Structure 1
Amino acid sequence: MKIIIAGAGKIGYSVASILSDEGHDIIVIDNNPTVINNLSNNLDVICVEGSAANPETLTEAGAADADLIMAAMRSDEMNMVCGISARKLGTKHVIARIRDTGYMKQTEFLREALGLSVIVNPELECAKEISRILRFPSAIRVDAFSKGSAEIIEHRILPDSKLDGMQLKDMVGSFSAKVLVGVVERGGEAIIPNGNFTLKAGDLISVTGASQELRKFFVAAGQYRKRVKNTMIMGGGRIAVHLTRLLMESGISVTIVEADRTRCEELCDLVPGARIICGDATRGDILLEEGIKSSDAFVALTGDDGDNIITSIYAKQSGVGKIVVKVNREYYSDILESSGIDCVVTPKTLISQQLARYVRAMSNSVGSSMETLYRLADGKVEALEFKVAEGSACVGIPLKTLRLKPNIIISALVRGSNTIIPDGETVIKPGDHAVIVTRAGRLKELDSIVEGR
C-alpha cells in the first residue's frame, strides 16, 4: 500500500518504521529539514519537506493515488485540514490524530463531515491501557479481544511461585482454569510453547482466557493481587485526565499531584471527583505527606522520563503494590525492569499498534477480516483476532487434524458470548472470532495459518 504520514514526530516516526518494515511504500511529510534528514538516513522511506496542509506539498507526495494518509502533526486543526485536502486530491482513507476533548465529543460528525476514516487519540489510548492494568493488578499488560470477551494477560513468574517448574500441559489439572499460555519471553527470546514446555521463575508469560477464568487461574496459582481501590497519579496532563475519569467510573479513588498551580485549578474543573494536590511529586516529603505509603497504585505521567523513572522507584521502595510508568523512550524499559517495575507504557507504541492493525485490515478486504492486532514480547510476536468467514480453510475441521504452520497457536475462540480455549476436538465455525498467536509480521489473513496456504 502507498501510505503518506504527515508529521514526523515520535508517533509519525514510529509508525513509518513499522509500516516500512511490513513492506508498504511510505512517504513522510515534515516541514523541519533536520527531521527530514534524520528520517531519510535511518528509514527506507521517501521524504518530502513542506507543510502537509498545503495541497501542493500533498500533490508532490502523491496524495492523488495514495491508499492512506495519517495526519499526525501537533495541531488538531492542521490534521483536519490535511485530511480534507488529501481526500479532495484522491487519497482513499484518512487517519487523523485528534487530541482536544471538545473535538473528541464530535467524532461521528468529524468522520462524516470531513471524510475521516479513523480518529486517533494517543493520550486516551494510553489511559485505557493503564486503566486495564490497574483493574487487573496481577498483570503487567492487558490486551482485550472481541470487546473484552477474551483477554491476554502478561505476567512475570516470581521465585517460589507455583508456576515455577510446571509444564504447561499440567496447568489445567492443577488450577482448574480454562486458560492458555501462548507466549513465553525468557532471556530476550520469545517462545511460542507447546504442552511440554516447562515454566521458570523470571519468565514473562502471556496468558489467554475469559476475564473470570484468568482471575480463577491467578488466584489458584497464588499470584492474584488485591483490587486497587486508590491511586496516586504524578502529573496532570491529558493522559491523567482521561485516566482519572476511567478509574473513577470503576470506583477507584484518585489523587493527582501536579506542580503547576494554574493546571491544578483547571484539573479541579476537569475531574471534580479527584483529589488535586499542587506540589512537586519528585520530592519524597510531599509524596509521604499525601499518602504514598497507603496508595494501592502509583502512576507516573509527566513529560519527563527521568522524573517518572526515579519517582516510580521511590514509590516501589515505599511499598506501593502496583506501579505504572509512562516513558517516551522504549529503551528505559530495561532500567525499570531491573528495578522491579514491569508496567511501562509508551503512547507512540500503542498508537503504532493501532495503526498497523488498521492498515493490515485494509490489506485484507476479502475473506476472514482481521479485527484486532497486538504486538507482544517487544514486538517479536503478534496476537491477532480474525472474524471467521464462511468458506475459510479453517472451518469444520477438528484442530487435531488441522495442519498449522510452525510457531502458530489458536489461543482462543469467541463464539457468541462464550470464550473457548480450544483443544484437539474443537472445530472452528463461521462467525467465530479466532485469536491467533504467531511470529510478528507473518500473518495477514486467517487461512495463512494452514500448511500449503
Structure 2
Amino acid sequence: MGMNIVIAGAGDMGYHLATQLSYDNKDIILIDTDREVLDYVSSKLDVLTVQGDATSFEVLQRANVENASMVLAVTTSEKTNIVTALLAKQLGAKRVMARVRNHSYLEADNLAYFNNLGIDNLISPTMLCSREIYNMIENSSFTEIFDFGGGKLNIVGVTLDQSNPLVNQRIMDTKSNPIFEDIRIIAILRDQKTIIPRGSTIIRNMDHVFFVSNKKNTENILEILGQKKVEVKNIMIIGGDDMALTTALRLEGKYRVTLVNKDKERCKWLAENLKNSLVINGDYKNIELLIEEGLEQMDAFLALTESSETNIITSLSAKNHGVYKTIAHVDTREYIHISHSIGVDSLINKKLVAANEISRYLKKGSVDAVSGIYGVDAEFIQYSICKNNRVIKNPLRDLHFPDSAIIAGVIRGEEVLIPDGDFQLALNDKAIVFALPDAKTALEKIFH
C-alpha cells in the first residue's frame, strides 16, 4: 500500500508539490476547477486528475479522499482550503493540511482551534518565505544556505567568477589545501545542469558551487573564496503587500529597514503597522528616487513587488549601484532557472518555499529532512541509519552509490563528519545525501 496523496489546487504550488512527490512514486490525485490546467499537469506528470470544486462532497469522493494518507489543500483561496481540509478529514483522510493567508491563524492558541477541528497543519507561504529571506540576509555571503541537524552541518551555494582561486582547478587538486579537510564541494550548477563532481571535474568560471562544512568551518569557505564577510545593516525593501510587510516586520528588530511603496494610502497603513521601519511613498521603478532615498548606502535590497519583471530589473539596478546583496521575489517557475546566470544574487518564490516545506513532512521511512534548491532538480535528503544492515558493514566505496548521488555529510551525535570513500557509516548516523531524481530508487535500496 503506497501513500495516496490528494492535492487540491493545481496552480504553481500544487504543480510543484506534485512534481516533488511524483519522484517518490507516490499515487497523486490533483483536483482543480480548470480543465486546461489539469491537462497541462497530466501531460507532464504521472498523476490522476479530477475536475471540479474541492469543497464539493461529490468531487472529494471521486478523488477517493477516504483512502488518502494526506490531503493538501493549496488553492489560491484560503476559505476553499479550510473547507476542503475539514471535509476531507471527516470523509476519512488520515492527515490534512491547508494553505492559509491569515497569519493570526498560525499563532499557537488559534492553531489549536484548527487542530481540534481536525486540520493537522496550516501553512502560510508568505510566512515561510519571509523566514527564508531573513535566513539569506543573516548569511548574506552565500546565495543559498541549508542547515541540517539543527545547524550542525551547513551547505552553502555561491557563484565563482574569474577572480576566484578555485576556477580552472580540478577538484582533486584542491585536496592539498588543508582548509579542504572539513569542507567539500558536493555539487556544481553549470548552464542549468547539475554536476555531481568527481576528482577529475574542473571548476569553471561562473560555476555555481555548493560547499558542505560543519558549522565552525563555514567561515573558512569565505577564506577559500577570498571574500570578506560583510555585515548587513541597512536594507531597502520595495513593495507593499503582505509579503513586504511580513518581511519588514521580521527584519526591523535587527536591521535598519526602508520600505518604498507607490500607493499613498497603503503607505499610511504600513507605517502604522511597522514599528521601526521608515516607510516612503514613491515610485520604486524610478531608480533616481531610490538613490535619493539612500539606495547607494544600502547593504541589501529586497524586491518584493507583485511583478517578477520589476523585481528582477530593480535588483539588477541596485547591484549596479553597489548594493552587496539583492533578493528578488519571482512568481513564475520560468525565471527561477535563470537566476544564477542573470546576476541577481538570490531569487525566491514563496510557492516553492512552501512546497519544499510540505515535502519535508511527507518523506517516508528514515528520511528526516529534504531541501530543494532553486533551479536544480536535485535535493538534499537526510537518512537515519536505524537498522543493522550492509550499509554499516562496508566502506562507502563498496556500497555502489549511483553516480547521480553523493553523501555530503554525516551527523554522528554532536559530531559532523565529511566522508570519503573509506568512510564507514555507523548505527544512528544521520547521512545527508545530495541526489538527482534518477538516483532515488537506488538510494531507497541502499538505505532501506
The TM-score normalised by the length of structure 1 is 0.89
Q: Distance in 2 between matches of 1:159 and 1:18?
A: 35
Deviation at 1:421, TM superposition (A): 1.4
Asked if 1 retains the 8 angstrom alpha-carbon contact of 2:338 and 2:375, the reply is no
In structure 2, runs of 5+ residues without a counterpart are none
- AA in 2 matched with 1:373: V
Q: Distance in 1 between matches of 2:34 and 2:374?
A: 34
- Give the structure 2 partner of residue 393 of structure 1: 390
- Give the structure 2 partner of residue 219 of structure 1: 223
Relative to structure 1, the CA distance from residue 4 to residue 263 in structure 2 (aligned partners, 3 Å threshold; closer, same or farther) is same
Match of 1:27 among 23, 26, 29: 29
Deviation at 1:26, TM superposition (A): 2.5
Deviation at 1:323, TM superposition (A): 0.8
Relative to structure 1, the CA distance from residue 445 to residue 266 in structure 2 (aligned partners, 3 Å threshold; closer, same or farther) is farther
- Give the structure 1 partner of residue 107 of structure 2: 105
After superposition, what is the alpha-carbon deviation per residue over 1:302-347, rounded to whole angstroms, capped at 9, x for unaligned? Answer: 1111211221121122111111111111322466544422411122
Q: Distance in 2 between matches of 1:270 and 1:430?
A: 51
- Give the structure 2 partner of residue 93 of structure 1: 95
Asked if 1 retains the 8 angstrom alpha-carbon contact of 2:397 and 2:422, the reply is yes
Asked if 1 retains the 8 angstrom alpha-carbon contact of 2:143 and 2:157, the reply is yes
Secondary structure of the residue aligned to 2:396 is coil
Asked if 2 retains the 8 angstrom alpha-carbon contact of 1:254 and 1:275, the reply is yes
Match of 1:47 among 46, 49, 59: 49
- AA in 2 matched with 1:423: D
Deviation at 1:396, TM superposition (A): 5.2
Asked if 2 retains the 8 angstrom alpha-carbon contact of 1:28 and 1:46, the reply is yes
- Give the structure 1 partner of residue 203 of structure 2: 199
Q: Distance in 2 between matches of 1:425 and 1:39?
A: 44
Deviation at 1:174, TM superposition (A): 2.1
Relative to structure 1, the CA distance from residue 203 to residue 34 in structure 2 (aligned partners, 3 Å threshold; closer, same or farther) is closer
- AA in 1 matched with 2:312: I
Percent sequence identity over aligned pairs: 29
Deviation at 1:55, TM superposition (A): 2.1
Q: Does 1:233 align with 2:237?
A: yes
Q: Does 1:296 align with 2:293?
A: no
Alignment of 1:332-411 (within 5 A): 332-333=335-336, 337-361=340-364, 364=365, 369-376=366-373, 378-395=375-392, 397-399=394-396, 401-411=398-408
Deviation at 1:70, TM superposition (A): 0.6
Asked if 2 retains the 8 angstrom alpha-carbon contact of 1:370 and 1:445, the reply is no
After superposition, what is the alpha-carbon deviation per residue over 1:215-249, rounded to whole angstroms, capped at 9, x for unaligned? Answer: 11212430344121211111122222332233345
Q: Distance in 2 between matches of 1:394 and 1:404?
A: 11
Secondary structure of the residue aligned to 2:439 is coil
Between 1:351-360 and 1:407-416, the stretch displaced more is 351-360
Relative to structure 1, the CA distance from residue 96 to residue 186 in structure 2 (aligned partners, 3 Å threshold; closer, same or farther) is same
In structure 1, runs of 5+ residues without a counterpart are none
- Give the structure 2 partner of residue 11 of structure 1: 13
Between 1:124-133 and 1:24-33, the stretch displaced more is 24-33
Relative to structure 1, the CA distance from residue 100 to residue 43 in structure 2 (aligned partners, 3 Å threshold; closer, same or farther) is same
Asked if 2 retains the 8 angstrom alpha-carbon contact of 1:443 and 1:449, the reply is no
- Give the structure 1 partner of residue 434 of structure 2: 437
Between 1:314-323 and 1:439-448, the stretch displaced more is 439-448
Secondary structure of the residue aligned to 2:130 is helix
Deviation at 1:96, TM superposition (A): 1.2
- AA in 1 matched with 2:328: V
Deviation at 1:105, TM superposition (A): 0.6
Alignment of 1:33-432 (within 5 A): 33=35, 35-36=37-38, 38-39=40-41, 43-106=45-108, 108-110=111-113, 112-171=115-174, 173-174=176-177, 176-177=179-180, 178-249=182-253, 251-333=254-336, 337-361=340-364, 364=365, 369-376=366-373, 378-395=375-392, 397-399=394-396, 401-432=398-429
The TM-score normalised by the length of structure 2 is 0.90
Match of 1:2 among 1, 4, 14: 4
Asked if 2 retains the 8 angstrom alpha-carbon contact of 1:395 and 1:427, the reply is yes
Between 1:28-37 and 1:237-246, the stretch displaced more is 28-37
Matched length = 444
After superposition, what is the alpha-carbon deviation per residue over 1:74-100, rounded to whole angstroms, capped at 9, x for unaligned? Answer: 333332221111011111121211221
Asked if 1 retains the 8 angstrom alpha-carbon contact of 2:337 and 2:375, the reply is no
Deviation at 1:290, TM superposition (A): 1.0
